[in-house]
Structure 1
Amino acid sequence: MKKTFLVLTIIFNYLSISAQSENHHTYYTSSEINLGNYVGIDIGLNYAYKEAYILKIGYSGNIRIPNSQPDDYTSGLVGALTLGLNNPYDQMQNYLMTLGKITRINSKNTIRLNLSAGIGYTIIKEPENWTKLDTDTLGENYSFNYRDYNTISLIINPKIEFPFTKIYGLSLSPMIQINKDRTYFGIGIGQMIGLLKN
């Protein structure tokens, strides 16, 4: 992590020194809901230089019903009352950094293409060792424990962005996260808030 922060500091300093004016810099946050073979969220801090090059530092968290879950698993009455929040899930989290190129689609700059890719530090957590329990309908009918492990992912995240105003916009973004253990693919629908354009 120290190396990542050092690289980010060098990049930000280089861009600041090489800029001729503060108007070359835009900063904004992005947040998306992801739908695909997992579901979840993606949030990020974005820095754009001359509205042409972009750096994003972010987090994505996604879950799905476990592939290993027995067909007759039930969370019981407790699971129903908590709306499934305590249910077991396959989890895939990424701390990510992407770099990209922004291309304007129209002259008013209300539609643009953001072609981004990068890397992510991925944490995968999945239930395993399912054991059938003799229980009533109040609780789960299986016990299990979680296995978690870490890996590095390739992140491919092109976006179509709609910066309707200087401070607010929407985005539509396919995303692929590829690593040696799992692959996430889906689409994100989100919003952007901050200084989006000059």
Structure 2
Amino acid sequence: AALAQGRQPLLLERTAGLGGRARSLFARDVDSMIDNGQHVLAASYHETRRLLRRLGQENAIHFQQPLSIHFRFNQRRNFPFRAWRLPAPLHFLLPLLFGAPLSRSDRRYLFRWGRRFRQTVPEQLKPLTVRQWLDEAGQSPLLEQLLWEPLTLATLNTPLRQASAFLLYQVLQKAFLSSAATSGLGLATRLLGEIFARPAEQFIRQQG
């Protein structure tokens, strides 16, 4: 955006490589390049997808349609989740209600939570962590293990006790509960450094 306005940005990096949390680095113990933590994108990340198109890298991310996640807890317990092609939030909640290994109380809770979610005032979540939000909502340990813990780590790259409840609300609202078409996850097919950092550096240099 700064380059498009004729400005010369000053790029500061804390580490020796470009990319921030989405950078790739050499790991000596495996003698190979790896990503600094595996990231997933959401199909609703419109600005990120616009950046990928500008860098010529949109095909480097595989976007699901609709959302599909296979949860595996141990050798005997797993749960293949797939969003249904229904209006939001039913496309997300009904597969959980009828397919997940939940107790009756958890199913009732999810149904009530889906109704209350749309009445949530986002500003009230800003001081809270996800951990505090879940505790206030009375989440069960099973729902936390099945849904919130992996979802928070995958989308915010932060554990429950530190992640922002406000940011998770935004992710849920825009990425998972807006429509089935935009609920899918985007998975990188190459190293993140090859998708973001290196093309961005080339683009900046080409623009002078």
TM-score class, shorter? under 0.3
TM-score (norm 1): 0.21
- Name which one, 1 or 2, has greater alpha-carbon Rg: 1
TM-score (norm 2): 0.20
Higher fraction of strand: 1
Higher relative contact order (CA 8 A, sep 6+): 2
